Amino acid sequence: MKQESAAQSTPPPSLSPAPPAQPSWEDGDPQALWIFGYGSLVWKPDFAYSDSRVGFVRGYSRRFWQGDTFHRGSDKMPGRVVTLLEDREGCTWGVAYQVRGEQVNEALKYLNVREAVLGGYDTKEVTFYPQDTPDQPLTALAYVATPQNPGYLGPAPEEAIATQILACRGFSGHNLEYLLRLADFMQLCGPQAQDEHLEAIVDAVGTMLPCSYLTEQALALV
Ligand SMILES: N[C@@H](CCC(=O)N[C@@H](CS)C(=O)NCC(=O)O)C(=O)O
């Protein structure tokens, strides 16, 4: 996929802090950079990129263990969004986006606000394996919410996570939309892409929704 421009969805000016000090790899000429998305970034990168790959990272599992009081929740009712948990046996599917030239600074400035300032995520270097060329892995930047960040909620039974997701919405929309769009992405990746944690939450949501609401109708509610 190639996308030369993208509408930027940035928070209201009052929330836009001064641009951050650029990370070390920004010294001198901006190089091509790969950014790995495994949550809302897989369906809504909202930054300009030059190329993208579907694939996976090893040694991490995706978990709905990060609280969100802006995008998919509020201070009173924090939503749940995903982070990466270090897991030797883990494998997490997502999308890597290549940014080049001026796109690098623009993407990093945008993601710093969306992910770090508003979301509590830190950056981490990961090895990404493209689905089509897993023998040619790429070094990518990922945004990971660690247990030390104030919004971290940690583990909970999938049924409890599903209940929380059904009850929350924020400035970017309902938490259910976040869950179902991620589930849709995983469906598109094919049968080799499994995420038992995500599937268990989707199944739990399915048992809680009125049986007359199909997935697309459920999405219309959010
Ligand atoms: N860092 C993960 C998770 C990103 C994520 O979901 N971040 C939230 C911030 S709490 C977000 O951007 N939400 C936008 C939305 O929900 O539409 C990724 O690579 O996708």
User: By alpha-carbon position, which residue is closest to atom 10 of ligand 1?
Assistant: 119
Give distance in angstroms: CA of 109 to centre of ligand 1: 15
Rg of the Cα atoms in the chain: 17
Ligand 1 atom with the smallest distance to the CA of 120 is: 10
Confidence at residue 218, expressed as pLDDT on a 0 to 100 scale: 59
- Where does 13-221 sit in CATH, by number? 3.10.490.10
Active site residue 199: no
Confidence at residue 118, expressed as pLDDT on a 0 to 100 scale: 87
**Can you give the pLDDT of all 222 residues of the chain as single tens digits?**
444 444 334 444 444 444 444 443 443 445 799 999 999 999 999 999 999 999 999 999 999 999 999 999 999 999 999 999 999 999 999 999 999 999 999 999 999 999 998 889 999 999 999 999 999 999 999 999 999 999 999 999 999 999 999 999 999 999 999 999 999 999 998 888 999 999 999 999 999 987 555 555 555 665
**CA count, 13 A, side-chain hemisphere, 37:** 25
Contact in structure between 168 and 74 (CB atoms under 8 Å): yes
Look-up: residue for tokens 């919410």?
145
Confidence at residue 206, expressed as pLDDT on a 0 to 100 scale: 93
In b/e form, how buried is each residue of 16-26, taking b as 16+ CB within 10 angstroms?
eeeeeeeeeee
User: By alpha-carbon position, which residue is closest to atom 20 of ligand 1?
Assistant: 39
Mutate which of 35, 38, 41 for ligand 1 pocket (most atoms within 8 A of beta carbon): 41
Give distance in angstroms: CA of 39 to centre of ligand 1: 5
pTM: 0.83
H helices present in 8-135, as ranges: 102-111
Look-up: residue for tokens 């979301």?
119
